[in-house]
Structure 1
Amino acid sequence: MGDKSDNNGFSTPETSKKRTIDETVSPTDCPAGEHVNAPEAVRRKESFSPLAANSEMQCITHDLTDLVKSAICSPEVMEAICAAVVPNLSVMFTTMLKPLNDKMDAQNKTLSTMSDKLLSQNNEIKQLKAQNTKLRSALADADQDIDALECRLDDMEQYSRRTSLRFHNVSVKYKPIRDSNTQTISESTSNATGSIQTSDSIQQKNDSSNSINHLDYDKIVVDLCNNVMNVNPPITEADIERSHPIGAARNGHFQLLCKFKDWKLKNRVFQHKKNFKTHRSDVFKVFVTEDLTRKRQMLVKQLEAARKDKMIDSHWTYDGRILFKRTSNSKVSQVRHIKDLNDILTELSTGSDNPWNNQNSSEASSDALLNPWKK
């Protein structure tokens, strides 16, 4: 909008231009404070800044936030909020936590009961452990007593057999060797009974020896001792207290048990046992051993297996005692119990240099073991 000047040099402001009907606007379309037909406002460059408006709004917002915080944090407001909210929250939390509290109470009761039971069981376990310890100690003592009694019983049984010998692999068709009078056992028996018998009469059906009478067994023993073992001076039937077979015959052979009347006579016969080797053949396989208890027979079998495995040099029996030597130059040792033998064989298998230096094997001189009654 420009100024008009008159002739005198005065200028008057130019009036607003009148608008046409099409250009007119409603008062409601115009901002507040403006005339409907007012000219457009002239804005100068950089008279308005958006950054300034934003800063003013941030300041106003910050002020409002501080005001709200200060109002809420005031004691009066906090007391009012707590008075209104806390009772409701307490009721709500109590209602929510009641099932959980009930479960916890039940679990506490269960745990208390289990704790009492566990304590009772621990006490019982302690008592049982103490009783178990006592019983184990008593059982160990009882085992030792039983072992000692078994050893004593075995010694007594062996003592009752000290005058007996066993002749193995005696044929049911035994044919005696002729004695100095050129009489066989069967011939001497026929003269005594008035009937003629042959060696075939010794055989029973199914190869059993039950048909041989008592006199035949005694005469077989006499023939074996005098004509095979070469016992000197010779024995007679009067030296034999009792002779009979042991068990059933197997493969035409049986064991013949002979009990002599005198222990010295039995030992004199047994000392000639090696003479059987000179008569051994495919037909004649008789050998003699002492009449050992079942327990000592098992010990001898184990020692024989150890000898075949070259773990020991030799083993033998004398008057019921089981003796062996590790090497030909080692001392004679005696075995009395199966446990002792197992310990000794275990040490031998591990290659121990001195397996006899323990309490399981009893050592003595050869003279003391072979002659226990020598003073």
Structure 2
Amino acid sequence: MSENNMASPMKVNNDSQGEIQNDTLVTCSQPASTITPQQSISNKRSLPDSPDNLPATLKQKTRQLRRRGNSMGDLTEIDNPKKAASIRKSVADRVLEALSSPEVLNTIIPILSKQISDTLEPIIEAEVKKCVAEEIQPLLQKLDCQSSIVETQKQQLIKQFIQLSSLQRTTQDQITSNNEREKEINFLYNRVALLENRLEIQEQYSRRTSLRFNNVAIPADRIQGAKIVHPVDTDSIILDICNNKLGLDIGIGDIGRSHVIGKLKQGRSQVIVRFISYRTRQLVYSNKKALKGDPNGTFITENLTHFRTNLVKQLATLKYNNKINACWTTDGRIFVKVNANSQKRIINNLDDISDLESDIQQLEERTNTNNSDGM
């Protein structure tokens, strides 16, 4: 401040003439009058608006305004808002034009990028870490919880797997044991079936000398409800049938034992007879056709076992339905013929009857097909 105050008198003395002229140009729009140096010197203190009359600080501001006026135009334009805005716009355009040049951009952009990167990188890194921590921490806790659950379930699965393996081994052992038992059962079943068949054959063989006389008239007590009057002389009844109806000559010595079997129906019943010899039995059985048309309906059959009797009943049903031509028994064996020209077949069990029915069905289908083709 002191330096400016000390320099101001000197500048006033040296530049007084120029300043007076400039002040005249700035503050007055009238033509300047011709003033001699002596007059200017003598009159400069008398002007109230002279810069020399201003304080030192105001003098400096005035000089600055003069310098700006020399470079930017008339100082009066400063007080005009439109002119000032135009000046500012011109300066801004020049600055933008300078900044838009490739040289400036290539120089400024790397610097700005580095400054921005150095400034933002720690902030972004901190924010990212914060966000990641906020988002990941619950997930990590949940993951730890899930890991604990998975580990528990894993241990349970291991225990169950061990139990399952043990059960599988036990099951496999049971399967092996069951297979062995099944084989043993099948063996025993086949053996039982074989023994039953042998027993059946043996039982039927024991009846080789026996015959059954069916629909034989038996004395009955009608007063007591048509009950059999015991004892019944079945030997005499059988001898009468054999000698009188069959025309044979046999005596009481040919009969080992005879008795009534079954219930009495309409005064008739079955009589089972065991002959002394197979030859006598066969002689009587071979002449059974002589009883055909008997008034009492008497007929003779072999004394079959219960199993073979059921087989004969099924064949009798087939014959009644015209499925087979004939069936008969010889020495306990059962024979059947499907038609008059077919070969006889032996029936030993129920499977043989099933095969017979299947063959009959196929034969009927072929017959129907041939008949339809012939039409």
TM interval, shorter chain, is 0.5 to 0.7
2:301 matched to 1:289?
A: yes
**Alpha-carbon deviations, 1:260-299, whole Å to 9, x = none?**
112111111111212222224xxx2222111100011011
In structure 1, what is the equivalent of residue 225 of structure 2? 206
What is the deviation of 1:121? 2.0
Given the superposition, is the C-alpha separation of residues 72 and 36 from structure 1 closer, same or farther in structure 2, using an over 3 Å criterion? closer
2:328 matched to 1:316?
A: yes
CA distance in 2 between counterparts of 1:66 and 1:253 reads: 133
Residue 293 of structure 2 aligns to a residue whose secondary structure is: helix
Given the superposition, is the C-alpha separation of residues 287 and 13 from structure 1 closer, same or farther in structure 2, using an over 3 Å criterion? farther
In structure 2, what is the equivalent of residue 180 of structure 1? none
Instruction: Give the 5 Å matches for 1:255-274.
Output: 255-274=270-289
Given the superposition, is the C-alpha separation of residues 68 and 267 from structure 1 closer, same or farther in structure 2, using an over 3 Å criterion? farther
C-alpha contact (below 8 Å) 1:239/1:262 kept by paired residues: yes
Residue 350 of structure 1 aligns to a residue whose secondary structure is: helix
Task: Report the TM-score, using the length of structure 1 for normalisation.
Answer: 0.62
Higher relative contact order (CA 8 A, sep 6+): 1
**1:170 aligns with one of 216, 219, 227:** 216
2:244 matched to 1:227?
A: yes
Given the superposition, is the C-alpha separation of residues 82 and 213 from structure 1 closer, same or farther in structure 2, using an over 3 Å criterion? same
CA distance in 2 between counterparts of 1:202 and 1:278 reads: 27
CA distance in 1 between counterparts of 2:134 and 2:170 reads: 53
CA distance in 2 between counterparts of 1:277 and 1:221 reads: 16
C-alpha contact (below 8 Å) 1:158/1:293 kept by paired residues: yes
**1:304 aligns with one of 316, 320, 327:** 316
In structure 2, what is the equivalent of residue 152 of structure 1? 198
CA distance in 1 between counterparts of 2:344 and 2:320 reads: 18
C-alpha contact (below 8 Å) 1:231/1:268 kept by paired residues: no
How many percent identity over aligned positions?
26
Larger radius of gyration: 2
CA distance in 2 between counterparts of 1:120 and 1:65 reads: 75
**Alpha-carbon deviations, 1:166-215, whole Å to 9, x = none?**
11222345xxxxxxxxxxxxxxxxxxxxxxxxxxx665722222x14242
C-alpha contact (below 8 Å) 1:208/1:248 kept by paired residues: no
In structure 1, the gaps of 5 or more residues are 1-11, 17-33, 174-200, 354-375
Given the superposition, is the C-alpha separation of residues 167 and 64 from structure 1 closer, same or farther in structure 2, using an over 3 Å criterion? farther
Number of residue pairs the alignment of both structures matches: 282
- Of Structure 1 and Structure 2, which has the larger fraction of its residues in helix? 2
Given the superposition, is the C-alpha separation of residues 43 and 248 from structure 1 closer, same or farther in structure 2, using an over 3 Å criterion? same
C-alpha contact (below 8 Å) 1:311/1:349 kept by paired residues: no
CA distance in 1 between counterparts of 2:123 and 2:27 reads: 63
CA distance in 2 between counterparts of 1:223 and 1:112 reads: 91
**Alpha-carbon deviations, 1:113-155, whole Å to 9, x = none?**
1211222222222222222222222222212111111111111
Given the superposition, is the C-alpha separation of residues 143 and 102 from structure 1 closer, same or farther in structure 2, using an over 3 Å criterion? same
When the two chains are superposed, the root-mean-square deviation of aligned CA atoms in Å is: 4.2
In structure 2, the gaps of 5 or more residues are 1-24, 30-75, 366-375
**2:163 aligns with one of 107, 117, 121:** 117
What is the deviation of 1:337? 2.2
**1:245 aligns with one of 248, 256, 260:** 260
What is the deviation of 1:325? 1.9
C-alpha contact (below 8 Å) 2:209/2:277 kept by paired residues: yes
Given the superposition, is the C-alpha separation of residues 156 and 37 from structure 1 closer, same or farther in structure 2, using an over 3 Å criterion? same
**Alpha-carbon deviations, 1:316-351, whole Å to 9, x = none?**
011111112232223332222223333333343334
C-alpha contact (below 8 Å) 1:315/1:323 kept by paired residues: yes
What is the deviation of 1:90? 7.0
In structure 2, what is the equivalent of residue 218 of structure 1? 235
C-alpha contact (below 8 Å) 1:241/1:259 kept by paired residues: yes
C-alpha contact (below 8 Å) 1:315/1:322 kept by paired residues: yes
Task: Report the TM-score, using the length of structure 2 for normalisation.
Answer: 0.62
C-alpha contact (below 8 Å) 2:209/2:281 kept by paired residues: yes
